[in-house]
């Protein structure tokens, strides 16, 4: 049942099932009403004391999820070669800001910079800036990058990175940014909210009517009762900032994430713990919370800021065009069978259609006139 603001429980109601962050959220709901899904996500992931990213390294087999750079060094190496090619196509700007959004353990950047040793001028021109909210992951990044002799500068937001030509990389970053959800109810779009049910547990509900988002895509026109529409103002804001900088100061961005190429209806909010899907409301701050990335919306934002857009292209064809198989061959040459099998499995994992190859998409955003590999004519 949908909780209404009036259903807030008295403070003495026993709610033993809520964890520390759950109690904090419940108090906030009692004080100011249900949260939008976006506010709920933002608190769960970024609460300064209890947020998911604040207290742990969630990556890897012992964590909650595995990302492409953690699957194989080949991923970061190919991204590194992409960066060099784009930097050269842009006329070798010096200096330029090499920016990674949400660098996780710093593995992608470490592998990219190691691969970039083939072009010392690139490394000499690059000023490394990392945008990261997690103190735990910042520490991992510091260690990993020290191993390739780099000392980055950290930022909480892209806005504080100095204005200069920029190359931006974002792998599995946009999926962690909050989304708002709207539910089709009684012939209108109403915000989906997180409130409290009569037992004092967190529960999804339907908020006040009236569509706050003016921009309803065409696909949403014939929506049936109960349909869900997602928008991510946070993602739009970050992409607008990226594209604006590219337009003003030059060069490009590479966005890799899971999501859809065209706006579609549907609930993509998902929660993962130890590599399995769990209830997004069950254990706030203790589980990963993401949503699929709307690449059509990101592309539209980038174009509206005057940048050129390429893709989205599926990750499989992207990596194969950049030379994944050749790289795997060189990496495995003369090594034992076990390692060669491991490399083969990594290629399959990164590029295979049933694995990361089709769900994950790649979007390149560039200054007008610059065509990044491996894209053809501008879309
Ligand atoms: N890119 C890495 C990590 C992906 S996990 C990889 O591919 O392995 C998401 C990353 O984004 C983490 O580093 C997380 O701490 C960071 N992050 C999440 N929300 C953020 C925000 N709002 N601002 C900056 N970084 C954020």
CA distance 193 to 212: 13
Pocket residue to mutate for ligand 1, from 71, 159, 176, most atoms within 8 A of Cβ? 176
Contact residues of ligand 1, CB 6 A cut-off: 45, 53, 59, 67, 69-70, 102-104, 108, 131-134, 137, 171-173, 176
DSSP run (H or E) holding 257: strand 251-260
Record the tokens describing residue 85, joined without a space. 């090619």
- Residue 199 contacts by C-beta under 8 Å, 6 or more apart in sequence? 15
Reduced 3-state DSSP string for 162-213 = CCCCEEEEEECCHHHCCCEEEEEECCEEEEEEEEECCCCCEEEEECCCCCCC
Q: What is the pLDDT of residue 327?
A: 96
User: Cα 331–337–338 angle (5° rounding)?
Assistant: 90
CA–centroid distance, 102 to ligand 1, in Å, is 3
Distance of CA 282 to the CA centre of its chain: 22
Evaluate whether 365 touches 309 at the Cβ level (below 8 Å): yes
Please report the pLDDT score of residue 62 as a whole number.
86
Cα–Cα distance for residue pair 8/269, rounded to 1 Å? 25
Confidence (pLDDT) at 17: 81
Eight-class DSSP state of 128: E
Residue pair 361/256 in contact by the 8 Å Cβ criterion: yes
Pocket of ligand 1, candidates 42, 45, 53, 270: which has the most ligand atoms within 8 Å of its Cβ, to mutate?
53
Alpha-carbon dihedral sign for residues 128, 164, 298, 37: positive
- Asked if residues 231 and 213 have their Cβ atoms less than 8 Å apart, the reply is yes
Long-range contacts for 135-138 (Cβ within 8 Å, ≥24 apart)? 135/54, 136/53, 136/54, 136/55, 136/56, 136/57, 137/53, 137/57, 137/103, 137/104, 137/105, 137/106
Class of residue 204 by CB neighbours under 10 A (exposed 0-12, middle 13-18, buried 19+): buried
pLDDT in tens, the chain (379 residues): 444 544 444 455 554 589 999 999 999 999 999 999 999 999 999 999 999 999 899 998 888 999 999 999 999 999 999 999 999 999 999 999 999 999 999 999 999 999 999 999 999 999 999 999 999 999 999 999 999 999 999 999 999 999 999 999 999 999 999 999 999 988 888 999 999 999 999 999 999 766 555 467 778 878 899 999 999 999 999 999 999 999 999 999 999 999 999 988 999 999 999 999 999 999 999 999 999 999 999 999 999 999 999 999 999 999 999 999 999 999 999 999 999 999 999 999 999 998 999 999 999 999 999 999 999 643 4
DSSP summary character for residue 253: E
> CA–CA distance from 93 to each of 97, 147, 199, 243, 250 (Å)?
10, 26, 60, 17, 9
Ligand 1 pocket test: pick from 74, 75, 104 the residue with the most ligand atoms within 8 Å of its Cβ: 104
Q: Which residues lie below 8 Å from residue 229, measured CB to CB, with a gap of 6+?
A: 181, 182, 183, 184, 189, 216, 217, 220, 223, 265
Q: Rounded to whole angstroms, how far apart are CA atoms 83 and 61?
A: 28
Q: What is the pLDDT of residue 1?
A: 45
| Ligand 1 nearest-atom number relative to CA 170 | 1
Q: Which residues contact 301 (CB under 8 A, 6 or more apart)?
A: 236, 239, 240, 243
Q: Do residues 38 and 191 touch, judged by C-beta distance below 8 A?
A: no
How far is residue 292's CA from residue 43's CA, in Å, rounded to a whole number? 19
Q: How many CB atoms lie within 10 A of CB 323?
A: 17
Q: How far is the CA of 108 from the centre of ligand 1 (A)?
A: 12
d(CA 175, ligand 1 centre) in Å: 9
109 φ/ψ angles, rounded to the nearest 5 degrees: -65, -40
Q: Which two tokens stand for residue 307?
A: 């940048």
């Amino acid at each position: 049942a949908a909780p209404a603001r009036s259903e807030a429980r008295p403070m003495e109601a026993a709610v033993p099932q809520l964890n520390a962050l759950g109690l904090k959220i419940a108090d906030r709901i009692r004080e100011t009403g249900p949260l939008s899904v976006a506010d709920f996500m933002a608190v769960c992931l970024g609460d300064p004391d209890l947020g998911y990213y604040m207290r742990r390294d969630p990556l890897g087999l012992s964590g909650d999820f595995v990302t492409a750079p953690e699957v194989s060094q080949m991923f970061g190496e190919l991204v590194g070669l992409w960066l060099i090619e784009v930097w050269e196509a842009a006329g070798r700007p010096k200096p330029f800001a090499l920016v990674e959004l949400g660098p996780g353990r710093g593995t992608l950047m470490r592998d990219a910079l190691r691969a970039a040793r083939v072009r010392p001028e690139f490394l000499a021109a690059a000023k490394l800036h990392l945008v990261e909210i997690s103190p735990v992951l910042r520490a991992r990044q510091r260690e990993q990058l020290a191993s390739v002799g780099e000392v980055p500068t950290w930022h909480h937001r892209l806005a504080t990175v100095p204005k200069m030509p920029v190359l931006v990389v974002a792998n599995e970053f946009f999926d962690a940014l909050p989304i708002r959800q709207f539910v089709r109810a009684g012939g209108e779009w109403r915000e989906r909210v997180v409130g409290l049910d009569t037992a004092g547990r967190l529960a999804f509900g339907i908020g006040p009517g009236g569509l706050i988002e003016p921009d309803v895509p065409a696909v949403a026109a014939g929506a049936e009762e109960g349909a869900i529409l997602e928008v991510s103002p946070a993602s739009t804001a970050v992409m607008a900032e990226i594209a604006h900088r590219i337009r003003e100061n030059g060069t490009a961005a590479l966005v890799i994430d899971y999501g859809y190429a065209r706006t579609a209806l549907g609930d993509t909010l998902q929660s993962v713990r130890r590599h399995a899907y769990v209830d997004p409301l069950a254990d706030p701050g203790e589980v990963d919370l993401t949503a699929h990335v709307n690449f059509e919306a990101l592309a539209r934002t980038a174009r509206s800021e005057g940048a050129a857009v390429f893709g989205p292209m599926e990750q499989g064809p992207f990596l194969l065009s950049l030379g994944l198989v050749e790289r795997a061959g060189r990496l495995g040459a003369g090594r034992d069978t076990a390692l060669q099998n491991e490399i083969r499995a990594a290629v399959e994992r990164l590029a295979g259609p049933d694995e990361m190859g089709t769900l994950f998409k790649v979007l390149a955003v560039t200054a007008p006139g610059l065509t990044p590999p491996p894209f053809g004519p501008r879309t």
